């Protein structure tokens, strides 16, 4: 892993921090600009093309000020080179070193990845004859772990859908290339956990193809904060709960069941917020896309979970589907959900940003609606348990970024993953595990191959309740 050459701190009135000699290979990839505010730190990594827009910088500055007023969290902004679309993971080690150094020396709580920031492509080996390939930002949160690209296999390297030859009797993509078994191929596949399981910081990413979409995103966040701050200014003892209603769809193949863990959890969560309505979409009737968007546009929700079959750009519901453009165009301003959870394979796969594409998860924060953050999975697997964890911590007073980090800490732990994938070690043959190993040896190897693939997009600084003493309710590091 490459290291940052040096950090030069000049302690004068402007508090200018210059990050000198940051390099990945032989090219300089970053310089830092001054932190504008005081308080607990977080890191903002922004590519220099995005940061060059003066109007966008002004909108970002207002966002930083609003976050500081409500959370007492201040940013350090580091400007880096944009990724190469042909190799968007090339500078991941260098970018990760920047994050790691700020965590060790400045104790950052988390990092916002803004713009064309390199991303790791992970090869998820969790099946007998299939693999999933997709982006994974967990590498920027688990900073004491090792992420290794050390195997070359047959097959493609950049599938947006993440599935390859699932019905093939001889899945060549799973087989090592003779003579090059341990040569890097651009797909990371080995995670060696450090002494602290799970992430040490939260990670959130936002990307937009146009500056106009960035403007809309930051304007939407600043309007949200302005309303809260105005209400707190009028009444110093005010308790502000901007949005309360909960929307839950269940899976399109069957309606939500009142006996299911998710239904019960979200229903009870809604009951804990006075005046909140719990909308179980499709329980008695409905379940189509048109009815989903009708529900979106009927009110402003705190949280919405939408389950379905997905690829990065299309979500299938009952006998119908909706696209990224539907999200961008059909959710009305002032409506939708503040926090959007997407359940379904690959709805959180954002690898298309290398081609200037917005996936389903990014589309919600960039929409006209109130959504400021969304999360989904990069490959196969639902997020039902993730959302229960996230909502639980939000209900305890955490902000979204911290709640997401805590959820990952448990759901990415070895003990949890062993239970989730215990049946994998019993399959023979298995292309990913030692053919003649004991179950313990096979499990040890399997644990290095597995990640959850859950990625958070958008504004991490969201809470359920705001007061004038938010400083005491936020995370202090």
> For every one of its 477 residues, what pLDDT tens digit does the chain have, with 9 covering 90 and above?
333 322 222 222 222 233 322 333 333 445 666 555 667 799 999 999 999 999 999 999 999 999 999 999 999 999 999 999 999 999 999 999 999 999 999 999 999 999 999 999 998 866 555 677 889 999 999 999 999 998 877 655 444 333 444 433 445 556 677 788 788 888 898 999 888 888 999 999 999 999 999 999 999 999 999 999 999 999 989 999 999 999 998 776 777 888 888 899 999 999 999 999 999 987 765 678 898 999 999 999 999 999 888 899 999 887 889 999 999 999 999 999 999 999 888 899 999 999 999 999 999 999 999 999 999 988 866 678 888 999 999 999 999 999 999 999 988 888 888 888 888 888 777 767 888 889 889 888 888 888 888 999 999 999 999 998 654 444 444
The answer on 367 and 256 residing in a single domain is yes
Task: Extract long-range pairs of 281-284: CB within 8 Å, 24+ residues apart.
Answer: 281/247, 281/248, 281/249, 281/250, 281/256, 282/249, 282/250, 282/255, 282/256, 282/318, 283/255, 283/256, 283/258
The answer on 315 and 399 residing in a single domain is yes
**Among positive and negative, which fits the CA dihedral 427, 430, 433, 434?**
positive
Rounded to the nearest 10 degrees, the angle between the axes of helix 384-395 and helix 400-411 is: 130
CA distance 304 to 51: 32
Question: CATH number for the domain including 250?
Answer: 3.40.50.1460
Whether 338 contacts 394, CB under 8 Å: no
Q: Is residue 139 part of a domain?
A: yes
Q: Is residue 152 part of a domain?
A: yes
Q: Which two tokens stand for residue 17?
A: 């921090």
**Among positive and negative, which fits the CA dihedral 278, 279, 282, 283?**
positive
The answer on 253 and 190 residing in a single domain is no
Q: Is residue 286 part of a domain?
A: yes
The answer on 131 and 157 residing in a single domain is yes
CA distance 309 to 316: 5
The answer on 332 and 434 residing in a single domain is no
C-alpha distances (whole Å) from 235 to each of 133, 228, 232, 239, 273 are: 51, 11, 5, 9, 21
The answer on 247 and 360 residing in a single domain is yes
Q: How many domains does the chain have?
A: 2
The answer on 347 and 257 residing in a single domain is yes
Residues 6+ apart with CB under 8 A from 179: none
The answer on 287 and 185 residing in a single domain is no
Q: Is residue 6 part of a domain?
A: no
Q: Is residue 374 part of a domain?
A: yes
The answer on 420 and 313 residing in a single domain is no
The answer on 188 and 157 residing in a single domain is yes
Give pLDDT, residue 451: 86
Whether 140 contacts 89, CB under 8 Å: no
Specify the pTM. Answer: 0.89
Give pLDDT, residue 181: 77
The answer on 192 and 302 residing in a single domain is no
Whether 136 contacts 187, CB under 8 Å: no
Q: Is residue 382 part of a domain?
A: yes
CA distance 1 to 194: 15
Three-class SS state of 291:
helix
The answer on 420 and 304 residing in a single domain is no
Full domain range(s) for residue 171: 120-200+413-450
Nearest-5° Cα angle at 141, 342 to 350:
40
Query: Could you write out the DSSP letters of every residue in 153-212?
Result: BSS-S--SS----TT-SS-GGGSBPTT-TTS--S-B-EEE--SS-S-SSEEEEE--SSHH
Give pLDDT, residue 472: 45
């Amino acid at each position: 892993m490459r290291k940052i050459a040096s950090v030069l701190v000049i302690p004068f009135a402007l508090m200018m921090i210059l990050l000198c000699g940051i390099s990945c290979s032989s090219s300089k990839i970053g310089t830092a600009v001054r932190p504008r505010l005081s308080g607990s730190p977080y890191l903002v990594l922004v590519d220099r093309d995005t940061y060059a827009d003066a109007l966008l910088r002004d909108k970002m500055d207002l966002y930083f000020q609003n976050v500081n007023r409500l959370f007492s969290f201040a940013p350090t902004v580091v400007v880096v080179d944009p990724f190469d679309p042909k190799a968007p993971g090339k500078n991941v080690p260098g970018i990760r070193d920047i994050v790691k150094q700020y965590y060790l020396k400045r104790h950052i709580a988390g990092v916002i990845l803004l713009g064309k920031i390199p991303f790791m492509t992970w090869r998820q080996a969790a099946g007998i004859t299939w693999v999933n390939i997709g982006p994974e930002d967990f590498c920027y949160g688990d900073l004491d772990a090792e992420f290794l690209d050390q195997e070359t296999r047959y097959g493609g390297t950049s599938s947006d859908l993440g599935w390859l030859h699932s019905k093939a009797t001889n899945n060549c993509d799973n087989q090592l290339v003779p003579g090059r078994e341990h040569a890097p191929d651009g797909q990371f596949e080995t995670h060696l956990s450090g002494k602290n399981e799970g992430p040490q910081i939260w990670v959130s990413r936002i990307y937009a193809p146009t500056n106009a979409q960035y403007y809309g995103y930051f304007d939407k966040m600043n309007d949200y904060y302005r309303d809260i701050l105005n209400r707190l200014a009028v009444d110093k003892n005010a308790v502000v709960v901007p949005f309360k209603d909960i929307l839950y769809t269940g899976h399109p193949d069957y309606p939500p069941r009142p006996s299911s863990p998710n239904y019960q959890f979200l229903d009870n969560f809604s009951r804990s917020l006075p005046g909140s309505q719990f909308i179980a979409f499709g329980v008695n009737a409905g379940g189509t896309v048109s009815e989903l968007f009708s529900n979106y546009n009927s009110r402003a929700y705190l949280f919405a979970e939408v389950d379905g079959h997905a690829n990065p750009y299309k979500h299938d519901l009952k006998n119908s589907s909706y696209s990224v453009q539907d999200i961008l165009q059909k959710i009305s301003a002032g409506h939708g959900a503040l926090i959007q959870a997407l359940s379904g394979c690959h709805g959180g796969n954002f690898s298309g940003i290398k081609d200037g594409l917005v996936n389903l998860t990014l589309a919600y924060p960039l929409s006209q609606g109130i959504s400021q953050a969304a999360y989904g999975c990069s490959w196969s697997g639902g997020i039902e348990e993730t959302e229960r964890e996230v909502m639980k911590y939000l209900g305890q007073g955490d902000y979204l970024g911290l709640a997401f980090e805590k959820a990952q800490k448990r759901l990415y732990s070895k003990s949890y993953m062993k239970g989730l994938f215990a049946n994998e070690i019993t399959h023979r043959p298995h292309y990913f595990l030692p053919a003649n190993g004991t179950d313990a040896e096979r499990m040890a190897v399997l644990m290095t191959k597995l990640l959850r693939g859950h990625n958070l997009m958008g504004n991490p600084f969201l809470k359920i309740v705001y007061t004038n003493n938010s400083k005491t309710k936020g995370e202090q590091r």
